[in-house]
Structure 1
């Protein structure tokens, strides 16, 4: 039998004849790679063109020589100019109101000064009359004292002459007239006693007259003072009576406010309100007084006007500055910045804060100066110095600090 023997070993088989490196790519594979390369180049070229076109378009939109750009800039300038003019008009109106208020206060101050000067002149005139009266009394008293002294001197002179005559007579008749001399001495002594008693009585009467004169002067001063007090009380009663009469007349006419309107914030947590007073008769000539005395309720609280404008019977405008329940007007400080000591050994430190929530149309300087703040255990009613930086409002403080010594 023939056995199936294995095939002989051949060292040059097909597996050994195949090379280890891959064979050359086919024509289809090369075409695909060329297509990919071309597509990438096209995409890169399109990107570069797009970037160049966007740059040129952006330069064209911002080019100041472009008529459209200049029209747009001119419109923006017109808007800013109108806003500036409105702010200028508002400030001019505010300055006019302030000037009118200053004129009113100046007039009232001059009127008060005139009344005070008149009162002082009256007081000086009364004091002058009192002084003249006292001078007259004093001169009268001095004249009486001089007359009295002259009388006493005259009496003493006569007494002395009488004594001289008696002494001479006594010397001539000493032996013959001892009894008469003794009687004369006794009469002289009685005369002196009588004169002395009379002088004492006159002195007492003079003292009484002086006391009576002083008492009358004091009574006259008291009466003048009481009269002046009654005049002052009468004037005050007249003023109060006039005020009550005006109040009763205002209540009788039933004047009230209408068209209350809120305006911009004027200062920290404070807003301005206006309203028109109605039911004011055309003959009523105290419209401003009625305006200032008529209250209005704002946020449930009654306020009297801060000032009033009289434009006629049906156009009396009241102004209020309300500093309660106005959260939209409350600005506040943020961004605490400590810049350290001003200089070595200065003993002072510098702090700055950023002011937030300034109401639209509000004066940034006013809000900066009136917005309160507390830091480092200290409280301030506002910034010591205010400034603008990149459109933002900043407050500046400098205070003593021992750590900077």
Structure 2
């Protein structure tokens, strides 16, 4: 039973029993109403009005109601469209799943094909490698067999030749005993000579091999030393560049340049003091070695430096240009024949213009000399005689023979 039916049944049912009515009341005719009876009637009327409004406001579920059927039909249409959309989505999903399954199957078949092709290629390559190895092995075996055959053939020929020679020697010995003895002696000498020759050749080959190994070892050592020198030179250059940057940043420069005595041929010693050096700078010697000074219009870096503390770094230079006062020279010379047997000759020179305070041995060893088309950077031997300095040279002269 629907809600509307229940409401209509409630309206048509008889009113409830109330004690205000009595069986003695007349059924027809006017009856004197009381206040309580009027109040009850008003309540019943209000209840009926409220029930009617509620019945109109609350939708009915009675299938026989056209509005209910229309609403149910619209709900069914909405559910049908939703169901059709879900069916379409499920069909599309199944189609996509079938496509993905087909793609996976195709990809698996493609992978299987590629694996089979790869296996065939591997087997073919292994087969080619095995055939190549077999071919090389067969070739090597043929070469070994040919070599053995050649050795065997040579030995057989040698044996035959020995047999023939021995047979000839036997016949000759029978006919000429002395000639056979002489031939045997010559054979022994030839064998000794051959053995000696083989020994010398073997020793020569071993010596050449040792020389080659020694040459390769020396070459490798030279390459290692060259690499070490390059690394050390690169490190030194980087260190000098860093020191040079620090020196330029700190604006270090030389002051109080002084010239000193001549040290060797056309070479004089100079000194100067490096200033503007910070007191806490711990690379004073490196900065000294990297700072050039200008002498005679040319720049020179120190040959060595002395560190006597801050603001007392002394640099030393040996300048071998534009120093005419330090240039000694050879004046006259004499020829002395040492031996007419081996053709050795001695030339003696007298050295002049040695600077005051200079080492005569150093100037004698560094003053160049030229004679008889030969040039020397200095004397081979130096000595003093009668307060004079002499140098002499010993060389081979074919004209002395």
TM-score (norm 1): 0.41
Please tell me whether Structure 1 or Structure 2 has the larger radius of gyration of its CA atoms.
2
